[in-house]
Amino acid sequence: MSEQYSRQKQARILRIFRKIHRTTGALLFVFFFFISVTGLLLGWKKHSGGAILPKSYTGTSTDLKDWLPLESLHQQAVIILHDSISSSLSPELERIDVRKDKGMVKFVFVDHFWGVQLDGATGELLHIERRRSDFIENIHDGSILDYYFETEGEWIKLTYTTIMGLALLTFTVTGFWLWYGPKMMRRSR
């Protein structure tokens, strides 16, 4: 009697896990689709021939003594951004990426996914880049919504990543049990 009760209990647990697995998958299908596609693109970004992640160009000197001051390079990057792309773009920086080994400084702007690569020594333009990898990353982690809704503290991203992380954990546990549970039930016959 206890063996049959145990099998019924295992079968009930399997049905519950199957329902959780199916419901979670159905509710979050679109989000999992975006995460998987953007994750693939981000994994391949360095091997995209510059389509996703722009190539880093090389300047004339890797010796920092030869370089112009960062403030001067920043002013030059903003001038190039406004002259080459649009004068209405914000000059606010997300980051400055100093590549000493390449003799190059990359200025990445906050609001519009553009970057400007300058020769660190001369301030000459090496490349203007569309930051597709940053845009894809923002879709991947949900921060694109914080960007468009201008939220403080990235609350949408935190909520999104928490839900998706918990969903993946739920999928892992229920998926494992849906695979292992029937094997366990067959053994107990």
Whether the pLDDT of residue 1 is over 80: the answer is: no
Using H for helix, E for strand and C for coil, what is the string for the chain? CHHHHHHHHHHHHHHHHHHHHHHHHHHHHHHHHHHHHHHHHHHCHHHCCCCCCCCCCCCCCCCHHHCCCHHHHHHHHHHHHHHHCCCCCCCCEEEEEEEHHHCEEEEEECCCCEEEEEECCCCCEEEEEECHHHHHHHHHHCHHHHHHHCCCCCHHHHHHHHHHHHHHHHHHHHHHHHHHHHHHHHHCC
pLDDT of residue 58: 98
CATH topology of domain 55-130: Nuclear Transport Factor 2; Chain: A, (3.10.450)
pLDDT digits (tens, 9 = 90+) for 107-146: 999 988 999 999 999 999 999 999 999 999 999 999 999 9
Confidence of residue 185 (pLDDT cuts 50, 70, 90): confident
pLDDT of residue 188: 73
Domain boundaries, the chain: 2-45+138-187, 55-130
* Predicted local confidence at residue 124, as pLDDT: 98
Is the model's pLDDT at 147 over the cut of 70?
yes
**Residue pLDDT, tens place only, 54-66:** 999 999 999 999 9
